[in-house]
């Protein structure tokens, strides 16, 4: 799938992507969302209004994780939409979204967990470095 660019602002595009939609076949609603560095993550519920939509019977629903890449060109903001089942190469999805939806791509979920573990490790290391620098500054102050 390609990119779809609009003349909307970034905020307007995000609001549009998160809006509920309904057709004669299905209803789509966003249960939760998070914007992470031009990747809009959302938990989406599709409810079939007719048999056969997403392999569902009328009235059944499916919750899934959606990934919308956001970018800007000279005319406005655009998006490229993917679902977990496509195994997007982006891993900043909030961990709680994994608990809200059935698994569609285990290898992708493993990468999301690995990403968050590395980010957490990096934050811990940065906090240690800041604490060490502050301690060193105090030692220098006392030596004067």
Contact between residue 1 and residue 75 where contact means Cβ atoms under 8 Å apart:
no
pTM for this predicted structure: 0.81
Tens digit of pLDDT per residue, the chain (144 long)? 589 899 999 999 999 999 999 999 999 999 999 999 899 999 999 999 999 998 999 999 999 999 999 999 888 899 999 999 998 889 999 999 999 999 999 999 999 999 999 987 666 665 565 666 665 566 655 555
Q: HEC states along 56-69? A: CCCCCEEEEEEEEE
- Please state, in angstroms and rounded to a whole number, the distance separating the CA atoms of residues 63 and 56: 12
- Give me the domain span that covers residue 36: 4-143
Contact between residue 63 and residue 100 where contact means Cβ atoms under 8 Å apart:
yes
Both tokens of residue 34? 């998070």
DSSP letter for each residue of 65-81: EEEEEEEE-SS-EEEEE
Number of domains within the chain: 1
């Amino acid at each position: 799938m390609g990119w779809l660019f609009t003349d909307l602002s970034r905020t307007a595009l995000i609001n549009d992507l998160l809006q509920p939609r309904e057709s004669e076949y299905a209803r789509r609603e966003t249960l939760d969302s998070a914007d992470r560095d031009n990747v809009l993550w959302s938990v989406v519920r599709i409810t079939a209004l007719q048999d056969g939509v997403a392999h569902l019977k009328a009235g059944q629903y499916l919750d899934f994780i959606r990934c919308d890449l956001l970018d800007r060109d000279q005319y406005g903001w655009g998006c490229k939409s993917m679902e977990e089942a496509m195994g997007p190469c982006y891993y900043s999805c909030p961990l709680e979204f994994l608990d809200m939806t059935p698994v569609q791509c285990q290898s992708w979920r493993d990468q999301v967990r690995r990403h968050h573990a590395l980010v957490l490790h990096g934050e811990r290391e940065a906090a240690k470095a800041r604490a060490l620098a502050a301690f060193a500054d105090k030692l220098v102050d006392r030596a004067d």
